[in-house]
Structure 1
């Protein structure tokens, strides 16, 4: 291998010159955490950009999911997707609840409302659905299931920053949504996330829960956590936010080049057509079918030998991991569509400044595998 490695993603960074005024404010004020002025500004700017009213910034999305479950007092069963990053199910366990896995829609790879409803028992209290790759779930179908059965509907919207559905912000769906600002995401603050609440009262409760349950100097009303974001991370977010439209446009251009080159190859299905209104081009997943010359894993290995680090998102399934594989919902034959996706999906490198020459290397191998 003579070329520099190409990773599945690479974070955009704001120019240091744009970070310095924020750093000077931090050094001048010596306010480093505890809902400082930069955090308050970041929350307000984010809410305005996303088109939501009640947003709470947290130190990471995983703890945001835990808080959402804790707020609603969920300790029973939570129906969720096996085709996701492990943080989804881990958050359910850390909140003291039990994940139950349902199968996915074969086209979107998001939870199928019919399979969700089939998994409901008297112990079911919530649905935690994932907008996989930023592709919107069947929000209407899931909302109907939740409503009929008296369940809370929480969205793991880690991939869905800025995504809109029918012109409205996707993160406003459900009883609560949680976004990730991890360094690998479309928008990042190095680490971080946000919880979208449906009303002011819920936001106040979340803000208290994320600060140990403290009400005032002498009052602690509940068992809370410390999930606050620091002023330094808020500063990164404030420097990144004015660039986000430019970043998404650049991601769209990379995704469009893939689509133009790969979408007609027999046996290779591109899941996310570019140019969809409101999408964010978080990833470029391709599905390797039987008509493709080699298997998904063989293509993955071939790319790695050339220094191209595509990722098998999501393999193995969460339901195959040892802490979950013994659950009744993971029994053989229960999750056929998720299992097929786990065996066939490969996410190709995608980031705003992916050089055309590097992308051409990737396209060349995927188009003509050995």
Structure 2
């Protein structure tokens, strides 16, 4: 039996390099509440990502919940994609807003702006698209739609760390962008996330909301959550930033090898990534069509026999989950992609031999 190959594997620095940061925390005796390492990481992330303001969070889900709260949205509808992780939809419901699911563009796997426009009603207050797999949404058209209808535009950019598109960071589009630093992401702080915003005033509001809504010892402005990132998590982030460019370059090489080896396999389509000034190659999804001898689920099981653990990501779509069935919508493209997609293992330390084994499993039934 081969050694297991998982769909992802966290990038971690040498343990010895982490110890001096821990020693600094022990010396400072500051563990949380926007300590010195937290402040330093915010500063360095702004510089690296080329964004004006960033607020760190303990995870991306709390960041999404807080982003919607920060915009003071009245009760109403938020248009979003069913082809996403549950945190996107959960954040809407947590804010007592109604998710309205619309279909995707099958080429990019992102929300279809034309479907967004058709779904707008007098109850619509915001649009929440997802840069799926780190592939940019149609940011220009979505912004045009939001401006025309006076809607807030919040991007779930969990997959989009480090991506640059049309001359700037992909995180700079919309009113707010939310990123994840979960262990499975391109850049991780064990667990974490952040909100990117465009003004000091908005950052101050977000910083207050992630700290129970506290303004000072006697003033609390909102009933909000505790979303602060600890000093230990910030320390790992500072260390991860030192090698992030090497990580992205290694991911790019894995992506290129996959595409070369799979380019002529009938019935297997590699989801294309739009031309970007900087890509993070965060996932490697393939689409298994009827021209391939096996279904997606059959290939998924065949991989497991070989100790290869791919992922049906995203499956099922939101409206197929029992808790969201009451928000059902006609989204045939999202439904089809969800039934055909499979994310292959993707991480910097994946070897050529492992990639070849994965591809051989795919080709073995041809």
* TM-score, normalised by the number of residues in structure 2: 0.97
**Equivalent residue, structure 1, for 2:237:** 237
| Partners of 1:17 and 1:49 in 2: CA distance | 24
> Are 1:158 and 2:121 an aligned pair?
no
The answer as to whether partners of 1:259 and 1:273 remain within 8 angstroms in 2 is: no
Number of residue pairs matched by the alignment = 365
Q: Secondary structure of 2:287's partner?
A: strand
| Partners of 2:77 and 2:264 in 1: CA distance | 42
Residue among 330, 343, 350 paired with 1:347 = 343
Superposed CA RMSD in Å reads 1.2
The answer as to whether partners of 1:69 and 1:95 remain within 8 angstroms in 2 is: yes
Residue among 333, 336, 357 paired with 1:337 = 333
The answer as to whether partners of 1:311 and 1:347 remain within 8 angstroms in 2 is: yes
The answer as to whether partners of 2:107 and 2:272 remain within 8 angstroms in 1 is: no
The answer as to whether partners of 1:167 and 1:278 remain within 8 angstroms in 2 is: no
| Partners of 2:22 and 2:173 in 1: CA distance | 35
**Equivalent residue, structure 1, for 2:267:** 267
Aligned in 2, Cα 1:139/1:276: closer, same or farther, shift over 3 Å? closer
Q: Which runs of 5+ in 1 are unaligned?
A: none
Shift of 1:274: 9.4
Shift of 1:167: 2.3
Shift of 1:319: 1.2
**Equivalent residue, structure 2, for 1:69:** 68
Q: Which runs of 5+ in 2 are unaligned?
A: none
**Equivalent residue, structure 2, for 1:228:** 228
**Equivalent residue, structure 2, for 1:57:** 56
Q: Secondary structure of 2:322's partner?
A: coil
CA distances 1:135-174 after superposition (whole Å, capped 9, x unpaired):
0000011111111111100000000000010120000000
| Partners of 2:361 and 2:48 in 1: CA distance | 39
**Equivalent residue, structure 2, for 1:279:** 279
| Partners of 1:46 and 1:345 in 2: CA distance | 32
CA distances 1:281-309 after superposition (whole Å, capped 9, x unpaired):
10010111111121111111110111110
**Equivalent residue, structure 2, for 1:365:** 361
Matches within 5 A, 1:1-370: 2-74=1-73, 75-273=75-273, 277-327=277-327, 330-331=328-329, 334-369=330-365
| Partners of 1:145 and 1:22 in 2: CA distance | 46
The answer as to whether partners of 1:270 and 1:285 remain within 8 angstroms in 2 is: yes
- Structure 1 stretches (4+) deviating beyond 3 angstroms? 272-277
| Partners of 1:204 and 1:231 in 2: CA distance | 20
CA distances 1:69-108 after superposition (whole Å, capped 9, x unpaired):
1111223111110001111101111122111100001110
| Partners of 1:173 and 1:349 in 2: CA distance | 29
| Partners of 2:133 and 2:228 in 1: CA distance | 26
